[in-house]
Amino acid sequence: MLLRDRVIVISGVGPGLGRGLALQCARAGADVVLAARTRERLDAVAEEVAGLGRRAVTVPADITDDDACRELARIAVETCGRVDGLVNNAFAVPPLTDLGTVDLDAVRAGFETNVLGALRLTRLLTPALVEHGGSVVMINSAVLRHSRRTFGAYKMAKSALLAMAQSLATELGPRGVRVNTVAPGYIWADNLKWYFGHLARERGVPARQIYDETAAALDLRRLPEPDEIADAVVFLLSPMARAITGQCLDVNGGEYHH
């Protein structure tokens, strides 16, 4: 129960890591405030959290919208009475096109959600986080560790998010707030399962073969699941990590060493 009776705000609660974060925080004893744009999904995850005996407050919000984020911060503090942690998980897929031809407006839109949205929420929740020696975790990506073609816009956004986390660690550390990053690689959740199924059909091989070929490049020979990545986030949010700030923890089954 690393987060017993703490309150954690999670942005971007989708079917993959967002849901896993909500459930692992609840299993660690926290109440959660869940934000994303799709109310139905928030409600479904909130029901699962309630089934674990913890409270979930749902706030439909677009993190690119100032007013919506202000309202999110207000509801979190007024409903739960405190905020101990913030996980910036929300993300919009940037255009997967070479930088030589990518549409600049699409790159700019990616920054709005993936970088400025996280900064906006962090700033709005800073007063509450300062009150309880809080902790912020930015969800990044293994795209930090490679420069494959078509990933340029994604890498630009996530590199900016990492730089921002480090600068915020320096700014907020003297006020007792820690800011860290978790960088997952593959996440074995619905999106990837669908994609591997698609590849398998294209190649006329069993989906398991695609999984095994991919996992062969990881030291642990298996793809991390959402809960396993969420556990690293729970650790960084918890007092166990009280001397850790400005760091990036790669949770990738050993695909890249950093």
Ligand X SMILES: NC(=O)c1ccc[n+]([C@@H]2O[C@H](COP(=O)([O-])OP(=O)(O)OC[C@H]3O[C@@H](n4cnc5c(N)ncnc54)[C@H](OP(=O)(O)O)[C@@H]3O)[C@@H](O)[C@H]2O)c1
| Residue positions annotated with a catalytic role | 154
Residue list 32-71, contact with ligand X (CB under 6 A):
36-38, 41, 62-64
Among residues 58, 89, 180, 245, which is the contact residue for ligand X, using CB under 6 A? 89
What DSSP designation does 244 have? -
Closer CB to ligand X, residue 126 or residue 141?
A: 141
188 is a contact residue toward ligand X (CB under 6 A): no
Spatial contact of 122 and 45, defined as CB atoms under 8 Å apart: no
Number of residues counted as binding ligand X (CB under 6 A): 28
Which CA distances in Å does 43 have to 14, 68, 140, 144? 11, 18, 25, 33
Among residues 7, 23, 91, 94, which is the contact residue for ligand X, using CB under 6 A? 91
118 is a contact residue toward ligand X (CB under 6 A): no
Q: CB 186 → ligand X: shortest distance, Å?
A: 6
CA distance 145 to 155: 9
12 is a contact residue toward ligand X (CB under 6 A): yes
Among residues 75, 92, 199, 244, which is the contact residue for ligand X, using CB under 6 A? 92
Residue list 198-257, contact with ligand X (CB under 6 A):
none
Q: CB 62 → ligand X: shortest distance, Å?
A: 4
Residues 151-186 as b or e (16 or more Cβ within 10 Å = b): bbbbbbbbebbbebbbebbeebeeeebbbbbbbbbb
CA distance 156 to 163: 11
Sheet holding 85-88, edge to edge: 56-60, 31-36, 7-11, 85-88, 135-139, 178-184, 248-251
For CA atoms 19, 23, 25, 31, give the dihedral sign.
Answer: positive
Q: CB 45 → ligand X: shortest distance, Å?
A: 10
Residues engaged in binding ligand X (CB under 6 A)? 11-12, 14-18, 36-38, 41, 62-64, 89-92, 113, 117, 139, 141, 184, 186-187, 189, 191-192
